[in-house]
Amino acid sequence: MTDVVIIGVGLIGGSFALAIRKAGFQGTITGVSSAGTIAEAIQHGVIDRGASLEDAVPTADLIYLAQPIGRILHSLSQVDRHAKPGALITDAGSTKQAIVTEARRSVHRARFLGGHPLAGKESRGAAAADADLFRDHPYVLTPADPAQVDGPFLDMLRAIGARPVMMGAAEHDRLVAASSHLPQLASTALAATLGVHFPDAAQVAGPGLLDSTRLALSSYDLWRDIVSTNTVAIEEALSAYIQKLEHIRENLRTRQLQEEFAQGAAFARRLRD
């Protein structure tokens, strides 16, 4: 693998570029993004050069789509049209069923492997890119057939310190609805509730409230596509959460509350093991 093209050189795409370089990748890394983004990414030493999709893709061994979901859906057929036969197209979109379905329809010359790095931080853009962003975090791959997973790409993920996890696209979307989309909406709802009903609560904010509202800083731009491509699973996760909150509200005076604290603490500890 000597020619990598990254389409969408933001935090994730830029971090992937820095990470593979740090892990010893010797080939060319070309970015495809807006002129301003390319200039910023080159200035920060994230990519070697920028090019148009039409110029960059034909020689690429690996095409890494790190755009918002809606843009990935739109890029797939265009990238496949220019890709050399057998090139690997992969993506970093936060939901997988819509993308995998579209790839099945429109990727023919190249091969496609859906991916989702469970990594991120508050800052956005190539300027915030970080060679260690993926280190020790799960990196989900959703191959149609697990036996088909591309060996060199898997080796690359291990080299950048990520923990590859294989699962189906539907299972992925159901689980991230709970592990990622629900926490985002719970944090947004908490901050919005306080902002509307208890604005003076900011006077008595402790460190716990800062933790609980960190995700609420996220931009809707990133979340619109996630929510629209995983609506049913998110509705289910939200319903389970609302039911749990109602149960807690009804049991503030009973021993049931102790049971909820025990269940919550057990899962929170398990996440940290």
Q: Closer to a second copy at the Cβ: 129 or 215?
A: 215
Q: Is 239 in the site for a second copy (CB under 8 A)?
A: yes
Stretch that binds a second copy, among 18-26, 27-35, 105-113, 251-259 (CB under 8 A): 251-259
Stretch that binds a second copy, among 17-25, 30-38, 50-58, 254-262 (CB under 8 A): 254-262
Q: Is 149 in the site for a second copy (CB under 8 A)?
A: no
Structure tokens given for 49 = 């050069």
Give residues 152-181 in contact with a second copy (rule: CB under 8 A).
Answer: 165, 167, 172, 174-176, 178-180
Min dist CB 216 to a second copy, Å, is 4
Q: Closer to a second copy at the Cβ: 39 or 217?
A: 217
Q: Is 262 in the site for a second copy (CB under 8 A)?
A: yes
CA distance 214 to 216: 5
Q: Closer to a second copy at the Cβ: 39 or 170?
A: 170
CA distances from 251 to 35, 74, 147, 259 (A): 57, 49, 49, 10
Residues with Cβ within 8 Å of residue 181, at least 6 apart in sequence? 226, 227, 230, 233, 234, 237
Stretch that binds a second copy, among 15-23, 58-66, 124-132, 225-233 (CB under 8 A): 225-233
Stretch that binds a second copy, among 31-39, 65-73, 145-153, 231-239 (CB under 8 A): 231-239
Q: Is 39 in the site for a second copy (CB under 8 A)?
A: no
Min dist CB 25 to a second copy, Å, is 24
Long-range contacts (CB closer than 8 Å, 24 or more residues apart) made by 105-111: 106/76, 106/77, 106/80, 107/76, 107/77, 107/80, 108/80, 109/80, 109/81, 109/83, 109/84, 109/85, 110/63, 110/79, 110/80, 110/83, 110/84, 110/85, 110/86, 111/86, 111/87, 111/148, 111/150
Give residues 85-144 in contact with a second copy (rule: CB under 8 A).
Answer: 116, 118-121, 137-138, 140
Q: Closer to a second copy at the Cβ: 54 or 211?
A: 211
Q: Is 265 in the site for a second copy (CB under 8 A)?
A: yes
Structure tokens given for 261 = 């604290």
Query: Considering CB under 8 A, how many residues would be counted as binding a second copy?
Result: 91
Long-range contacts (CB closer than 8 Å, 24 or more residues apart) made by 200-203: none
